[in-house]
Amino acid sequence: MQEQGTSSIAASSLPSSSERSSSSALQVEVKEGGQRKRGRSPADKENKRLKRLLRNRVSAQQARERKKAYLNELETRVRDLEKKNSELEERLSTLHNENQMLRQIVKNTTASRRGGNGSSNAADGTL
């Protein structure tokens, strides 16, 4: 009685009338094996594999494009930072020169004030 139930389930799951003619062979498999044969047809497996390969190719291409954009962004940032660094080094050099000049002015002014008190050695720069 159980065999009839499984065979009617197997027969009712077939979608078209052309496949119903092979339902007796399917019923035999159910009776002998106790289970329906599961799995995909080779064409379905191949289609699934091709779709997976295509998705993988697209994903890999997108990853390459993201990497290229990221590298371009990094290169632009490096150029900008190098330019800024160069400007800062130039500014540092200018400020260093200005500082040296101001120190010299302070030194000369201090020396001339000391020399203005009547010291004869102040004119030649010795104290």
CB-neighbour burial class of residue 101 (10 A; exposed 0-12, middle 13-18, buried 19+): exposed
Cβ neighbour number for residue 7 with a 10 Å cutoff: 17
Per-residue pLDDT of the chain (127 residues; tens, 9 = 90+): 454 555 445 445 555 555 555 555 445 444 555 565 677 798 999 999 999 999 999 999 999 999 999 999 999 999 999 999 999 999 999 999 999 999 999 999 999 998 876 554 545 555 5
How far is Cα 2 from Cα 97, in angstroms, rounded to an integer? Answer: 103
Question: What is the reported pTM?
Answer: 0.48
CA distance 48 to 67: 28
